[in-house]
Amino acid sequence: MFFDFGGVILSSPFEAFNHYEAAQGLPANFIRSVNSVNPDNNAWAKLERSDISAAEFDEVFARESEALGHRVPGADVLSLLHGEIRPDMVHALDRINEAGYVMACLTNNVLSDQPVAVNDADRLRQDELRAVLARFSAVIESSKVGVRKPEPRFYEIACETVNVQPHECVFLDDLGINLKPAAAMGMHTIKVANSTQALNELSQVLGLASILPR
């Protein structure tokens, strides 16, 4: 069982992007449009592979967005990435663990230059995230392995890490572009629009009613 993190276990950062765009008078989905230009080698891709630092991303993303008509500091984008934990998904992770499935988290992420925790709220959130991630047998992070979804090597690393073959895997992600190479390798893929829809589909695949939202 492979799960994306942001947009699957956590709420989607796209909602936060849209709120920021509205507040700044930017076109809807402008930030996503910047990320879709040269998607394998733009600022976002480089940051998720740790090819550039967060400080470098701030300026490179600003230049890329400015070229499309609106200058957006990369630091602003990074500040919008903190989604909320979806309790229904965490409940499902526990039931899937109890059923004996091996689970891994496959996440495109970035290395942070920020302090570990500066206040009680930060520490509480970090503790909650660590508790969720502890449910997985492995966490495959783009910033650490040097490749990212949708690069096929990322999925190969995930399979190698937990010793499974692609055809044995179910993979949940909220982005179709990340699901296509996984499906081509033989994985059963589920595109996540919301937790209820995703868990209903997953329940049918696994024959596991206990994971359904309570």
| Boundary of a domain, candidates 27, 44, 78 | 78
Please check whether residues 27 and 6 belong to one and the same domain.
no
pLDDT reported for residue 83: 87
For residues 6 and 37, membership in a common domain is answered with no
CA pair distance 108, 140, nearest whole angstrom: 8
- Is 21 in the same domain as 88? no
**Structural domain range at position 57:** 13-78
Q: Total domain count for the chain?
A: 2
Proportion of the chain above pLDDT 90, given as a percent: 87
Count the Cβ atoms, other than its own, within 10 Å of residue 78. Answer: 19
In this prediction, residues 134-153 reach a mean pLDDT of 97
Beta-carbon contacts of 63 under 8 Å, excluding residues fewer than 6 positions away, are none
Is there a contact between 45 and 60 (Cβ–Cβ < 8 Å)?
A: no
pTM of the entire structure? 0.87
* CATH code (residue 70): 1.10.150
What tokens were used for 35? 């990320």
| CATH number of residue 94's parent domain | 3.40.50.1000
The CA–CA distances, whole Å, from 193 to 28, 32, 43, 201 equal 19, 17, 26, 11
Residue 115 is predicted with a pLDDT of: 47
